[in-house]
Amino acid sequence: MSRFGFSNAVKKPDMEQAPQVTPEASTPKPAPQMAAADAKAFDQLDAKLRIHAKLIDELDLSALDKMDDETMRRRVRGIVSEIIKKEEMALSAAEEASFADAVMDEMTGLGPIEPLLKDDSIADILINGCNQVYVERHGKLQLAPVRFADNDHLLRIVQRIVAAVGRRVDESQPLVDARLLDGSRVNAAVLPIAIDGPLVSIRKFSKSPLTMEKLVGFGAIPQPVADFILGAVKCRASTVISGGTGSGKTTLLNALSAAISPDERLITIEDAAELQLQQPHVARMETRPPNIEGKGEIRQRELVKNALRMRPDRVILGEVRSEEAFDMLQAMNTGHEGSMATIHANNPRDALTRLEQMVMMGGMKISETAIRGQIASAVNFIVQATRLSDGSRKV
């Protein structure tokens, strides 16, 4: 018996009785949660794909390029209505309009997830292969009634996303970060990394960033604490916002930035631009991944060094991840007081430890004592953001 109460003896399987893997058995099956309830959804998806195929045959694709969205939508709805009549589909006017919108999304948008992107109550969209799409609403994950025809259909949508920002995703480059036109952040993984189908994570871009007043109203932060932190930012105290994934670090950084004077020149550095600073003098920079030859990469460290030559009053780093931590500390210590950054850490003590480790990752020949002295001199405050089990976020 092991110390967990399980037997350590493992019975070897009988090779003659081992189950045979058939092509049918190895085909990905729909998620169990949607076996019966979503049969209608699959029928509708099949109908949409058939209508889409017929629509392509009847449309003058060269003329579509000259139409605005509204004209194109009217044209598509008219043709879809004709196809539905020919196919003798029993659909109400509302269902017919919904089908036309879905086909339009398939042609010019991101297919089945287009309605999710338009839903302001959704913060994250998480796609686990063609049959499983989760969304986060109000801090809680929910299975969405959305499906793709198959993994190839999902892959086409992923390729449409990354092509729009000049990137590619395939077997030779199976991991990619991208950004939608509205600023939403996308991460995708495909074969051979994602063995059961493409994995896509979309962090939606908030159209109206939360203010500190709203955060206080939601109960995320007490008013006295909010007043204190805003005062510290206004007085140019260098601040690091610490927290786990989804704890609201970027949201809090946006809210705190409201205390910065409009007279200051701000330079922001991010892997994927998310910050929404409202000051008039903001210069934004974003990292760049290597091209298909493995060249041309521009990391955060290079951008932080370059930012110091651009006469910033403050440097704001979207997230400290690696060796750029040293250059960020240097900026805070050399006349750029009030600079800000976020870091992934479960508590303030871990945040300090991670900063120390990141400086060491840069290969700098500095003792631990000197590194700790740099951190103590540079960082005035660490603000901890936490996501609780009920989905709420607290400071």
- Each residue of 330-379: pLDDT tens digit? 999 988 999 999 999 999 999 999 999 999 888 778 899 999 999 999 99
User: Does position 32 have pLDDT exceeding 60, yes or no?
Assistant: no
Task: Provide the residue type at 255 as one letter.
Answer: A
For 268-279, the pLDDT digits (tens) are 999 878 888 989
Instruction: Give me the mean pLDDT over the 166-181 stretch.
Output: 85
For 113-127, the pLDDT digits (tens) are 988 998 989 989 999
User: Does position 19 have pLDDT exceeding 60, yes or no?
Assistant: no
| pLDDT score recorded for residue 18 | 40
> What is the chain's mean pLDDT, rounded?
82
Residues 171/195, Cβ–Cβ less than 8 Å? no
For 84-94, the pLDDT digits (tens) are 777 777 777 77
User: Does position 49 have pLDDT exceeding 70, yes or no?
Assistant: no
Residues 395/247, Cβ–Cβ less than 8 Å? no
Check residue 288 and report its DSSP letter.
B
User: Does position 170 have pLDDT exceeding 70, yes or no?
Assistant: yes
What's the first-to-final CA gap in the chain, in angstroms?
45
| Cα–Cα separations (whole angstroms), residue 340 to 72, 132, 260, 381 | 46, 38, 11, 10
Residues 316/269, Cβ–Cβ less than 8 Å? yes
Residues 132/143, Cβ–Cβ less than 8 Å? yes
| pLDDT score recorded for residue 100 | 74
* Structural domains of the chain, ranges and CATH numbers in brackets: 32-108 (no CATH), 110-205 (3.30.450.370), 212-394 (3.40.50.300)
- Which residues fall within 8 angstroms of residue 259, CB to CB, at 6 or more apart? 230, 231, 233, 234
User: Does position 27 have pLDDT exceeding 50, yes or no?
Assistant: no
Residues 308/333, Cβ–Cβ less than 8 Å? no
- In this structure, of 31-45, 68-82, 151-165, 303-317, the range with the lowest mean pLDDT score is 31-45
| pLDDT score recorded for residue 28 | 44
Give the closest residue to 343 by CA, choosing from 371, 321, 359.
321
* pLDDT band per the 50, 70, 90 thresholds, residue 42: low
Instruction: Give me the mean pLDDT over the 190-199 stretch.
Output: 94
| pLDDT score recorded for residue 385 | 95
| pLDDT score recorded for residue 2 | 40
- In this structure, of 105-119, 123-137, 254-268, the range with the lowest mean pLDDT score is 105-119
| pLDDT score recorded for residue 135 | 96
| pLDDT score recorded for residue 263 | 95
| C-alpha span between 49 and 284 (Å, rounded) | 41
- Is pTM, for the whole model, over 0.85? no
Which residue has tokens 């610490």? 242
Instruction: Tally Cβ neighbours within 10 Å of residue 220.
Output: 21
* pLDDT band per the 50, 70, 90 thresholds, residue 98: confident
